[in-house]
Structure 1
Amino acid sequence: MRGISVVEEYWSGVLRRLQAEVDIFNKLIKHWGERGRENELSLARLLENLIPRHYGVGSGMVIDCHDKYSQQTDIVVFDQADEPAFLAQSNQVLFPVENVRACIEVKTTVNKEELKESGSKRASLHKLTPMQGKHPLFHFVGYKPGQYPDTISRHLRALEDTQKPDLFCVVDIGMIGGRKDLLQPVFGDTLVGTDDYVIAMTCLHARDASGQRQLGVYKEPPEDFTEPRILHDGGSYPIVALGRDWKVAEPSRSLLIFCACLVHTLAVHDGKPPPASSHYLSGATLDIVEI
């Protein structure tokens, strides 16, 4: 059975750097608005180094030719090859909806109120009328949970279909999911659930005697644990309540899956072949526990 790949090892490092950057900003910056903006910028910098160069990453409002506009959007992924420069001459950048490929809402803490707010932003985006192409996808990334995963899951499912994020990730607890039709091309036959909207968690795998990951078998937290995280193989992993059980989450895999699905949807939107990086995701990477 195949173990962790070089891509997964790399992303474990990426996540550690991202978390360290976010933690430092959150300790140094006391103002919540500024703290949130710095967290948005941390994710934006990651995406700028990830997505193909002909896409740009910005922040602002999405508009249509009928003078309608979306709410302020944390991260806008757009086709910068066709972006007219006259709409980017101030800090409040306006993005024509036809050129926008994805909008991403970023939250430091995830709870019911933040999810409802993101839902209203997705709804405002879909009130725009593209003159060509289709609406941009709307995604949600949260760093830390304000509630248990089961509770976050209930709040997500309670949203109207027009308000649910197309893809989402709550990084610190390894939550990942979204519309099944967007996840399926990356997961293939491994996505066995029947629900059209997938909500899942990436758990830390147990290893066999040779150090290989065991699909569907996960490391258990110590029975008498007193700390919210465990150290394993040089990494720190959160212990998360899932139903009546405690699980050890693997946040780097959830972030990797989110980014892989994001890049795949960008390619599909523009009629390009799937990115080569999708071939480097092992079965262990895509092994999730649906909630």
Structure 2
Amino acid sequence: MDWEALFSASSNKLMAELAECRAALEHRGLKGTANEATLAEALRVYLPGSIEVCTGEVIDSNGGRSQQADILLFDGATAPRFFSQDNINVLPVEAVYAAIEVKTYLNKQAIEEAFKNMKAFKQLDKSAFHPNRATTDKLLYGMPSQHWPVQFFIFAYESDSLETVLNHVKRLNASQPIHQQIDLVCILDKGLILNVGPEGLQPIPMPDTNLIAKPSSKALLTFYALLIHLYGQASNEPIFMAAYLKHIQH
């Protein structure tokens, strides 16, 4: 099978649907919703079946809450829903792998908005797992962890120049520890802002990587390949729901 041709066709389909939305819809919010749904469906088709896709919010056992996430990637096998209607869910952070913010056009203001949402998302406390359960150590961001840390990606259909986007992301990320940064940016019509190190392209920052702008006509293929590389390693543990029950008032 010609994977490059397949994803080139998928990329072209996404761009065609963007053009259709522009022609058919006047309201900016409706356009954004349509774009999010288009990407979510593409990811749902190609990601492993163990990873589910939805939109919604994420909460932690201390009462913390994220902003609404355009797309959430989560472990369907371990994810109780605190709310579920159509494709909108409220999920415990312990079941969530990543959030993807979808932008029709990515500029300084949009990057800063996404950065604010990323901070709220990555500051959630992901610790309500059953104690004394056997776990497999994960090594992400150069730090060992018993549980999978969350990622935050931006997907844009169009943007300012790649160098401009890179400079904005670098400036904002510099204020954050390595595991609380924007991990990766995919811009469908230009390329990617991503991490590169001795082992090549990486989906998340590591101590030996640098953030670069990579022009590419195959941005969607690269984005998908990096997600598969990352989440092919992902695993989750049963959630200790008693930690959430402490917020229920009697």
TM-score bin (small chain): 0.7 to 0.9
- Tell me, what secondary structure is at the counterpart of 2:173? coil
Match of 2:105 among 78, 98, 109: 109
Distance 2:193 2:229 in 1: 15
State the 1:89 CA deviation: 4.8
Kindly indicate whether the alpha-carbon contact (under 8 Å) linking 1:165 and 1:178 is maintained by their aligned counterparts in 2.
no
The residue that corresponds to 2:118 in the other structure is 122
State the 1:90 CA deviation: 7.1
The residue that corresponds to 1:155 in the other structure is 168
Kindly indicate whether the alpha-carbon contact (under 8 Å) linking 1:186 and 1:264 is maintained by their aligned counterparts in 2.
no
Match of 1:254 among 212, 215, 219: 219
Superposed, 1:19-58 pairs within 5 Å as 19-58=15-54
The residue that corresponds to 1:222 in the other structure is none
- Tell me, what secondary structure is at the counterpart of 1:130? coil
State the 1:195 CA deviation: 5.2
Given the alignment of the two structures, is residue 166 of structure 1 paired with residue 183 of structure 2, yes or no? yes
Identity rate, percent = 30
Q: Residues 195 and 100 (structure 1 numbering): CA distance in 2 closer, same or farther, change over 3 Å? A: closer
> What's the TM-score, normalizing by structure 1?
0.66
Kindly indicate whether the alpha-carbon contact (under 8 Å) linking 2:158 and 2:190 is maintained by their aligned counterparts in 1.
yes
Given the alignment of the two structures, is residue 77 of structure 1 paired with residue 73 of structure 2, yes or no? yes
Kindly indicate whether the alpha-carbon contact (under 8 Å) linking 1:179 and 1:196 is maintained by their aligned counterparts in 2.
yes
Distance 1:39 1:49 in 2: 16
State the 1:38 CA deviation: 0.4
Kindly indicate whether the alpha-carbon contact (under 8 Å) linking 2:57 and 2:69 is maintained by their aligned counterparts in 1.
yes
Superposed, 1:92-107 pairs within 5 Å as 92-107=88-103
Kindly indicate whether the alpha-carbon contact (under 8 Å) linking 2:173 and 2:182 is maintained by their aligned counterparts in 1.
no
Alignment-mate amino acid for residue 96 of structure 1: P
Moved more, 41-50 or 17-26: 17-26
Distance 1:173 1:81 in 2: 36
State the 1:18 CA deviation: 1.3
RMSD: 2.2
Alignment-mate amino acid for residue 19 of structure 1: M
Kindly indicate whether the alpha-carbon contact (under 8 Å) linking 2:82 and 2:90 is maintained by their aligned counterparts in 1.
no
Given the alignment of the two structures, is residue 135 of structure 1 paired with residue 131 of structure 2, yes or no? no
Distance 2:190 2:196 in 1: 21
Match of 1:179 among 176, 192, 195: 195
The count of residues paired between Structure 1 and Structure 2 equals: 209
- Tell me, what secondary structure is at the counterpart of 1:268? coil
Larger Rg: 1
Structure 2 unmatched runs, 5+: 130-146, 203-207, 237-250
Moved more, 165-174 or 36-45: 165-174
State the 1:95 CA deviation: 1.1
- Tell me, what secondary structure is at the counterpart of 2:46? coil
Alignment-mate amino acid for residue 182 of structure 2: P
- 1:82-127 per-residue CA deviation (whole Å, 9 max, x = no partner) reads 1214532577521111110111000000100000111111111121
The residue that corresponds to 2:246 in the other structure is none
State the 1:164 CA deviation: 3.9
Alignment-mate amino acid for residue 47 of structure 2: I
State the 1:135 CA deviation: 2.8
The residue that corresponds to 2:59 in the other structure is 63
The residue that corresponds to 2:11 in the other structure is 15
Kindly indicate whether the alpha-carbon contact (under 8 Å) linking 1:88 and 1:94 is maintained by their aligned counterparts in 2.
yes
The residue that corresponds to 1:228 in the other structure is none
Distance 1:79 1:186 in 2: 27
Alignment-mate amino acid for residue 138 of structure 1: F
- 1:27-81 per-residue CA deviation (whole Å, 9 max, x = no partner) reads 1011001100100000000000010112110011111011101111000010011
- 1:233-253 per-residue CA deviation (whole Å, 9 max, x = no partner) reads xxxxxxxxxxxxxxxxx1xx1
Kindly indicate whether the alpha-carbon contact (under 8 Å) linking 1:87 and 1:94 is maintained by their aligned counterparts in 2.
yes
- Tell me, what secondary structure is at the counterpart of 2:152? strand
Kindly indicate whether the alpha-carbon contact (under 8 Å) linking 2:196 and 2:210 is maintained by their aligned counterparts in 1.
yes
